[in-house]
Amino acid sequence: MKPARTIFGALWPPGVVLIAAILTLHVWARILNKPYLLPTPDAVAKITIDRRGDLLASLWTTTEAALIGFFCSAGGGIAAGMALSASSLIRRAFYPYTVFFQTVPIVAIAPLLMIWCGPGLGAVALCAFIVSVFPVIAGTLSGLLSTDPALEDLFRLYGASRWARLWKLKLPSALPSIFTGLRVAAGLAVIGTVVGEFLVGLFGPGEGLGVRIVSAKKQGRTDEVFAAVLIASLLGLAMFAGINLAAKLLLGRWHASEQDD
């Protein structure tokens, strides 16, 4: 184990790409010289600092909605996956309809959600939920259905109860697959939230990053659009990292996908 080298080794390749990308953008924006189309990175940094109060408030609103949507997806998706795994009849009856969550064009139905729930936190969180629930269902289901048959035999041989089979065998076996679903859902929840907030922005005032993107765009403040987009992306990244950390804590000792090197 060489942690210092490992951290440096992990960070330098994306670091070089980041610096190169910022420099390229800067040079390009300077040559183009049209800040309403492409602001320079330092202009984006400046507006981020100048308007940090507003942006932080927006970030908080978006985070709240994204987290509510994500946790609903996690809870609902895992519960749905467990229900679907219970019998092949249930699966055949309901699974095709869960795919609906995957295929529904959220931009098209978001206005409906605004009309039904009002343009607020509820509707936005619902957008986040709809967009992010399917990967959790699919991950949970495939995890629960791919339990080692020999271990199922073993549990049967020792007269394990249905509950023991689920709790001591199927769910722990499914955890890596559930986490794969949760990782995808974390990013999608932020996307769903921002899309929801666009619509809120169209309906009137609001706080979220999506609202800010719409209003800044209306006023031609492209640098602020960039700042908000960047912050939203970082939020998605942070949620993804949070899931990774949880996965590491839960699976670290035993699952191959969570083991270093």
Does the protein bind another protein through residue 159 (CB under 8 A)?
yes
Which residue lies nearer to another protein by CB, 217 or 255? Answer: 255
When binding is defined by CB under 8 A, the residue of 112, 115, 148, 220 that contacts another protein is 148
The DSSP secondary structure of 13-33, one letter per residue, reads HHHHHHHHHHHHHHHHHHHH-
Which residue lies nearer to another protein by CB, 57 or 169? Answer: 169
Which residue lies nearer to another protein by CB, 91 or 255? Answer: 255
Does the protein bind another protein through residue 42 (CB under 8 A)?
no
Which residue lies nearer to another protein by CB, 83 or 160? Answer: 160
Question: Of 116-124, 137-145, 162-170, 199-207, which part binds another protein (CB under 8 A)?
Answer: 162-170
CA distance 258 to 220: 45
When binding is defined by CB under 8 A, the residue of 169, 195, 202, 230 that contacts another protein is 169
Instruction: Using alpha carbons, select from 127, 125, 145, 136 the residue that is nearest to residue 77.
Output: 136
Percent helix / strand / coil, the chain, rounded to 5: 85, 0, 15
CA distances from 187 to 166, 210, 243 (A): 29, 15, 10
CA distance 160 to 142: 22
DSSP 208: S
CA distance 83 to 93: 12
In Å, the largest CA–CA distance within the chain is 74
The count of chain residues that interact with another protein, using the rule CB under 8 A, is 22
Q: What is the dihedral of CA 215, 219, 224, 225, to 10 degrees?
A: 60
When binding is defined by CB under 8 A, the residue of 25, 45, 151, 229 that contacts another protein is 151
Does the protein bind another protein through residue 31 (CB under 8 A)?
no
Q: Which two tokens stand for residue 58?
A: 């927006």
x-or-dash string of contact with another protein, 221-260, rule CB under 8 A: ------------------------------x-xxxx--x-
When binding is defined by CB under 8 A, the residue of 16, 109, 115, 154 that contacts another protein is 154
Please give the residue ranges that form the binding site for another protein (CB under 8 A): 148, 150-151, 153-160, 164, 168-169, 172, 175, 251, 253-256, 259
